[in-house]
Structure 1
Amino acid sequence: MTILIIEDEEATARKLQRLLVDIAPSTQIVGMTVSVEESVEWLRVNPQPELIFMDIELADGQSFEIFNQVTVKSPVIFTTAYDEFAIKAFKVNSIDYLLKPLKEDELRQALRKLQGLKQVLTQGAAGAEPGIGGLEESLTNLLQHIQTASFSNSLPPAPSPLPIAPFKDRFLIKQGQRLFSVSVDEIAYFFTRNKMSFIKTRSNHEWLLDYTLDELAQLLDPGRFFRLNRQVIVELRAVDKVHLYFNGKLKLTLQPAFEVEVVVSREKAGDLKRWLGE
């Protein structure tokens, strides 16, 4: 199977490539792109792959913009740290929607789903009369297969009333030969710089952390922490001011101050307002 990977986080792209090789050794990665612009150009000049793995939040915008600029005929498996885009994903070519960090069993299930859909469509077309009727029967079989066999697995799992495991309440920090822990009560926000993750404490100290923001989003209490964008996960008390910004976005002032402007996308603005108590 030929696969295009659209992912701007290098570590995630490498992990996905490694998992695909382990699960399906015959897989051929024919391209890896990191932005909307680069992906559109790749799809314009190369044959359509048999499958695309597509992150949603890219450096230059959301990957849904790709579908507005070029015809995408390939089935797509979306990979993202956010669950709020699931419905929008299934309005395009999506056959599955995997939340980061990627898990091998979920990836296997998504690939099995793709093979099952191919078989249903192929069998329907082979056993039906040619023409419109044959196409209708193939599509009917495909829809029945999606609805009864796999559609429930396509959406992110519903949240449990109680967490399976307690949220993380402290992080181990290594500084030279010294190890010490930082309580989440001391943390103002987590952020990335040069593809590395850091803790910013309420007392304005910075500590390097051996987690990605995608992993942290799964470990932290969502009542206390909110992922503002690809760079920052903030603790509630660190939000100093919220300003209306253009195109429905929000701009935040954090305390301690963050090194660059903190902007929340229009898509996440509503969730942020609800998190803040709207």
Structure 2
Amino acid sequence: MTILIIEDEEPTARKLQRLLGDIDSTLSVVGMTGSVDESVAWLKSNPMPDLIFMDIELADGQSFEIVNQVPITSPVIFTTAYDEYAIKAFTVNSIDYLLKPIKEEEVRNALTKLQRLRQVLTLPAQTDGKSALETSLANLLQQFRQIAEAPNDSGYTATRPLPASFRDRFLIRQGQRLFSVNVHEIAYFFSRNKLSFLKTHDSQEWLVDYTIDELAHMLDPQQFFRLNRQVIAQLEAVDKVHLYFNGKLKVSLLPAFDDDVVVSRDKAGELKRWLGE
């Protein structure tokens, strides 16, 4: 079976590739892409793979945009950090998903489910020229767009994951020494050169063993907010918020962050609500 992995966090993509190899040596990862543009280019210049693992949020947009540009006839297993409320869209359309951080058992279960869904791939084209799979995928993406923007029963949007419990500490490795950092000591998390770090309120900086995507759904959304693809900030670390061009916001953090922290126009309203607007 040939597999394309669409995932913009390289450590997550490599981890998934390793898990697939451990599960079945006949599974062949023929490509790994990290953005909408890169994925579209790959799909247009290569044979359609037997299976696609597709992240929802990519470096340059959402994976929905890929489907809008390329007719995908492969089955798709989504990888996502969205909460179970949003995930209902996937199960309705019999498209599986993996909740980050990805676990081997979940990959096995997803592949087993794929085998049961094989019959879908052999259905004849419908009158509009689309396969049953393409129609199912299109319906799924439409539902996800609606659900991802709608508040759930608890008042959070689907873009804000709600796991059963949140991390209250992180284990840090410094040489041969191990110690814990409590969450209330952390000002923000950030990524640099494909590695993730935490910075404490007293300006100490430590490497952490999780990607920013994984951290995003480990943290209490009332206390932490993902400002952009690089930074997740704690409420007390947000010093000032300035209006920026094209509806964006610029955030100043304490302790100071080395780069400009810009919040996209799409997330600006959510940030204002989180801050108490």
Rounded Cα–Cα distance in structure 2 between residues aligned with 1:82 and 1:272: 18
Q: Following TM superposition, by how much is the alpha carbon of 1:102 offset from its aligned partner in structure 2, in angstroms?
A: 0.9
**8 Å contact 1:3–1:31 — kept in the other structure?**
yes
Q: Following TM superposition, by how much is the alpha carbon of 1:54 offset from its aligned partner in structure 2, in angstroms?
A: 1.5
User: In structure 1, what residue type is equivalent to 2:17?
Assistant: Q
Correspondence for 1:206 = 205
Which string of whole-angstrom CA distances, capped at 9 and with x for unpartnered residues, describes residues 60-106 of structure 1?
Answer: 3333332333333322222133449958x86xx99233221112233
Give the secondary-structure state (helix, strand or coil) at the position aligned to 1:47.
coil
Give the secondary-structure state (helix, strand or coil) at the position aligned to 2:95.
strand
Q: How many residues align?
A: 255
Correspondence for 1:181 = 180
**8 Å contact 1:76–1:94 — kept in the other structure?**
no
Structure 2 unmatched ranges of 5 or more: 140-146, 155-161
Q: Which structure: larger Rg? A: 1
Match runs of 1:79-90 below 5 Å:
79-83=79-83, 86=86
Q: Following TM superposition, by how much is the alpha carbon of 1:47 offset from its aligned partner in structure 2, in angstroms?
A: 1.0
User: In structure 2, what residue type is equivalent to 1:95?
Assistant: I
Which string of whole-angstrom CA distances, capped at 9 and with x for unpartnered residues, describes residues 245-276 of structure 1?
Answer: 44544332211221112123344334333322
**8 Å contact 2:83–2:163 — kept in the other structure?**
no
Q: 1:77 to 1:27 in 2, by over 3 A?
A: same
Correspondence for 2:107 = 107
Structure 1 unmatched ranges of 5 or more: 147-154
Correspondence for 2:7 = 7
Rounded Cα–Cα distance in structure 1 between residues aligned with 2:163 and 2:8: 30
Which string of whole-angstrom CA distances, capped at 9 and with x for unpartnered residues, describes residues 116-152 of structure 1?
Answer: 2322564x76xxxx996xx9xx96xx98xx9xxxxxx
Correspondence for 2:57 = 57
Match runs of 1:261-272 below 5 Å:
261-272=260-271
Give the secondary-structure state (helix, strand or coil) at the position aligned to 1:271.
helix
Bigger mean CA deviation after superposition, 189-198 or 212-221: 212-221
Q: 1:206 to 1:247 in 2, by over 3 A?
A: same
Over the matched positions of the two proteins, sequence identity in percent amounts to: 72
1:74 has 2:74 as partner: yes
Which string of whole-angstrom CA distances, capped at 9 and with x for unpartnered residues, describes residues 219-266 of structure 1?
Answer: 322221122222111111111222344454433221122111212334
Rounded Cα–Cα distance in structure 1 between residues aligned with 2:100 and 2:126: 42
User: In structure 2, what residue type is equivalent to 1:227?
Assistant: R
Q: Structure 1 length normalisation: TM-score?
A: 0.74
Give the secondary-structure state (helix, strand or coil) at the position aligned to 1:260.
coil
Rounded Cα–Cα distance in structure 1 between residues aligned with 2:116 and 2:195: 39
**8 Å contact 1:78–1:94 — kept in the other structure?**
no
Give the secondary-structure state (helix, strand or coil) at the position aligned to 1:25.
coil
Give the secondary-structure state (helix, strand or coil) at the position aligned to 1:219.
coil
Correspondence for 1:196 = 195
Rounded Cα–Cα distance in structure 1 between residues aligned with 2:58 and 2:71: 19
**8 Å contact 2:163–2:217 — kept in the other structure?**
no
Correspondence for 2:20 = 20
Rounded Cα–Cα distance in structure 1 between residues aligned with 2:251 and 2:44: 38
Relative contact order, higher structure (CA 8 A, sep 6+): 2
Rounded Cα–Cα distance in structure 2 between residues aligned with 1:249 and 1:217: 21
Give the secondary-structure state (helix, strand or coil) at the position aligned to 1:95.
coil
Correspondence for 2:219 = 220
Rounded Cα–Cα distance in structure 2 between residues aligned with 1:30 and 1:220: 34
> RMSD of aligned C-alpha atoms?
3.9
Match runs of 1:154-165 below 5 Å:
164-165=164-165
Give the secondary-structure state (helix, strand or coil) at the position aligned to 1:49.
coil
